[in-house]
Amino acid sequence: MFSSISLRRGGSVSVSTRKTFTVYLKRFFEFCGQTPDEMITQRMADWRSDDIFVRRRHEEKVMEFAQYLNDEGYSSNTVSTAIGAIRSFYRTNYLPMTEVNVPSGRPIREYKVPTKEELIKAIDRANIPWHKGFMILTKDSGISLQDMLALTIDDGSPRYGTISEQVKKGLVPIVLNIVREKTRFKYTSFLGEDSYEVLNNKFAFPIVKYSYMTRDKLLLPYAGSTIREAMARIGDHFSWKSFCPYSLRKWFRTELTLDDCNDALIETWMGHSLGRVKAAYIIPPIERQMQTYKRQYKALKLH
């Protein structure tokens, strides 16, 4: 099971995660009064039943276990971790859970997702070129704050060149081959016409100038807290609640979804893993992705 998790995440599973998962799996099997093998054998038999209540028997057990932990006073984070371990167990045995409702591991937070007109006003409100640049590059690609701030001008694509080379050649969309900071998952995303105009404007976004001044050639020489604070101030000006970098990711996903873009492509462009099997069958070659991105870019273009 841990090998399977490692493959999906593109890295190893920490010792603490292994211990935690093992503890809660053991407690779940004891709660059900069965061994792991007995659980899987029963699950396989249940799946062949025509009775929906029989087929969902194990989902019901998982929810009962979640309620038991809740009643015992465990935090929602702990309950979520325990259920995550159980879901991984079933998934590894090719018997994944469906529709398991458990307490959220994190408090639900509402993020401001601007309209296109509101986003234009927000970008115009930013008084520092790099802040404007961050919002435009992020709304074009949908990648996370950590991934965006880790980009250097020497990143890009082995096939199409570095970011600075693609800008100089006038290549649009700009291709980004990224290793996600959070999970080490490798994925591809793009920067469209609005981003190209920003990166190609040496006065508004002096990429060439500061590339020689910074040792690591970061595309955006800022800390995450600086960006978050800048966006929060913009949001306060417009009386928006929780306007932050994540708002731009949600905007990217919302606009492309409303424009009927393929959901799997949206997910992978944002750096979400689809799993090895799905990615192999669903994600097309880079050239096809570029064509799709160009076709859908009207949903992301501001003017």
pLDDT for the residue numbered 214: 44
Could you tell me if 88 and 194 lie in one domain?
A: no
Residue span of the structural domain in which 23 resides: 2-92
pLDDT for the residue numbered 96: 84
Number of domains in the chain: 2
* Residue 104, in any domain of the structure: no
Q: For 37-47, what is each residue's pLDDT tens digit?
A: 999 999 999 88
Query: Nearest 5°: phi and psi at 83?
Result: -70, -35
* Residue 108, in any domain of the structure: no
Taking Cα atoms as reference points, which of 152, 35, 41, 46 lies closest to residue 98?
46
Could you tell me if 32 and 154 lie in one domain?
A: no
pLDDT for the residue numbered 41: 93
State the Cα–Cα distance between residues 227 and 84, nearest whole angstrom. 32
* 3 state SS of 152: strand
Could you tell me if 56 and 131 lie in one domain?
A: no
Could you tell me if 29 and 170 lie in one domain?
A: no
Q: How many CB atoms lie within 10 A of CB 94?
A: 9
CATH of residue 39's domain is 1.10.150
Q: Which residues contact 4 (CB under 8 A, 6 or more apart)?
A: 88, 91, 92
The alpha carbon torsion through 68, 73, 74, 76 (nearest 10 deg) reads 90
Q: For 254-286, what is each residue's pLDDT tens digit?
A: 999 999 999 889 989 998 876 654 555 567 899
Spans of the chain, pLDDT less than 50? 208-215, 277
For 1, 85, 186, 285, the CA distances from 16, given in Å and listed in that order, are: 15, 13, 24, 37
State the Cα–Cα distance between residues 132 and 124, nearest whole angstrom. 7
* Residue 100, in any domain of the structure: no
* Residue 154, in any domain of the structure: yes
Quick one: tokens of 160? Answer: 């199409």
Could you tell me if 147 and 290 lie in one domain?
A: yes
Could you tell me if 39 and 77 lie in one domain?
A: yes
* Residue 105, in any domain of the structure: no
Could you tell me if 266 and 194 lie in one domain?
A: yes
Q: Full-prediction pTM beyond 0.75?
A: no
* Residue 111, in any domain of the structure: no
